[in-house]
Copies of this chain bind each other. A is one copy, B any other.
Amino acid sequence: MERAAGLKRVALSPREASDLEMTAVGALSPLTGFLCQRDYRSVIKEMRLDCGLVWALPVTLAVSEEQAAAIREGEEVALVDQSERLLGILEVAEKYRYDKETEVRACYGTTDPAHHGVAKVLEQGGVYLGGEVWLLDRPEPQFPAHHLDPAETRRAFADRGWKKVVGFQTRNPVHRAHEYIQKCALEICDGLLLHPLVGETKSDDIPADVRMQAYRVILEHYYPTDRTMLAVFPAAMRYAGPREAVWHAICRKNYGCTHFIVGRDHAGVGSYYGTYDAQRIFDRFGPGELGITPLCFEHTFFCRACGNMASSKTCPHGKENHVALSGTKVREMLYSGVVPPPEFSRPEVAQVLIDGLKVHAKA
């Protein structure tokens, strides 16, 4: 830290800061820093690191041309957050220009600046700094009780004797559709890691603190405590759809999961991706190549004729029997204090969301 005080400073975006922390704790293993050019190009083009291991998204640090000009390859720089707080050190192995259009087209499947993830790339500096990182000071965790590093979740799984653990990524509250697919997966596993993403998301996603309260409530009322674990995933959302699904899966392998749930339009936004693109992308990898098994689910709903949750795979009845609400509709109901039907949301969860969103609206 003393040495860092004398170094040039590079301010990280929230996404870069969470990538730094995640790299340091092993959540992005085998990465040990921001990508250098060979790996970067290979990831963009082949979805693999230069060594051949699958890696789906660039983990990069962008600076402006001016900043880059002042930094020599081989030099150490201090990494600070947006409020100038020291986070870590980067040993700059390489600085290199990159083509934004090539990157966003490959990773996001679009160059549309209205896409949240694309916009972030377009607005960042034009030069990447690659090299090993050291984390010196961790950002204060927002949810300390649930801020478990990969080594900690892996140990916890081992302590509980869980051999098959399914990870569930989410940036939304858990409604009955999510509960259903989690429980389908849990039936064939030993434990469930409910692993909500709490890094940066779009401003219209439900705030993480409200979601965390809703997760605690649904676990308390509807899940056995000895089969579930709630921990946060400190990544920022990129909304890169299929590629982010693969990236999410690899990260969860690092946290000790053996299985990973991929829903419809996983990590999607708007209508940039086909509903099942994020599932089909897993077909590109040989069995065992990822080290984690994707479990792919269709759209699910409560069917009044079945008398249970189902999907088009498991229910033969017409739509008139299905309780289905769009995400937008549910958000509207919750923001205006209306409890969705119990076939859609557990009432305890709905109440937490209504109360939590009220507090946020006032703030």
Contacts and interface: CB of A to CB of B under 8 A. Distances in A.
Nearest to A187: B184
A310 B188 CA distance: 12
A297 B222 contact: no
A223 interface: yes
Nearest to A310: B183
Interface residues of A, number: 33
A187 B181 contact: yes
A225 interface: yes
A6 interface: no
Contacts of A185: 188
Count the copies: 2
A187 B313 contact: yes
B225 A313 contact: no
Given A307-B342, A309-B308, A222 B187 contact: no
Contacts of A223: 314, 316
Given A184-B187, A188-B185, A308-B309, A224 B315 contact: yes
Interface string A282-323: 000001100000011110100000111111111110000000
A316 B187 contact: no
A97 interface: no
A227 interface: yes
Given A222-B306, A308-B309, A314 B183 contact: yes
A311 B188 CA distance: 11
A314 B187 contact: yes
B187 A311 contact: yes
A250 interface: no
Interface of A: 180-181, 183-188, 221-225, 227, 287-288, 295-298, 300, 306-316, 342
